[in-house]
Structure formats: structure tokens, C-alpha cells
Amino acid sequence: MTPTDPTVRALVRAINDGDRQAFMDLLADDATMSDDGSDRDLGVWIDREIFTANGRMEVVSETDGGRALIAHFTNGTWGQMRTRWRFVISDGKISRFETGQA
């Protein structure tokens, strides 16, 4: 499934393409994130969980116009997990995302 929201759709594509720069270009300058309810250092987290671990995302379902996803997320560290993602978007940029096991 392809997310309805164009910014989220581009982010999923950046993850699946392994394109860190495209991912970063979609984030607001002061973007924040949390994983399983704990705020994390965004740069460290995306490198560890996505870009150095060959992260991939297969969207299963969406709500909130494509800003809330359930996805199978796979990386070389943890294998495949059923995950939830929620995005806050302002002016076409992601200002916050929250993820965790679903």
C-alpha cells in the first residue's frame, strides 16, 4: 500500500531506497521523534535503525489521511516487526514522528 499523504509517501520511498538525504530533506529543521514512547536523538536513531541497518517499510494500512500507518518494518538488526507510525506535518515537512511496535 502507498500512503495517501505525499510527504509520508516520500518518506517511505526514501527509507525503501536507502536515501538518507531524501529522508532528511523531508524533515523540519527542528524535527523530533520517539520510539516506543521515548524521545530519541533523531540523527542517531535513523542511522542505527534505518540507514546502516538496511531498513525497509511495507505499509499495511493507514488512517488520518496517511499520517498514521501500520507497517511491517524490517532491518538487519531486529528483523521484521509490525510497527505503528504517526507523523505531524507542517508546511510540507515532518516536524515529529512517533513509532513503535504495534
59-74 pLDDT, tens digit each: 999 999 999 999 999 9
| pTM across the whole model | 0.95
What the chain holds in terms of domains, given with CATH numbers, is 6-101 (3.10.450.50)
CA gap 64, 4 in Å, rounded: 9
15-24 pLDDT, tens digit each: 999 999 999 9
Instruction: Give me the pLDDT at residue 68, please.
Output: 98
For β-strands 56-63 and 93-101, DSSP reports them as unpaired
Instruction: Give me the pLDDT at residue 8, please.
Output: 98
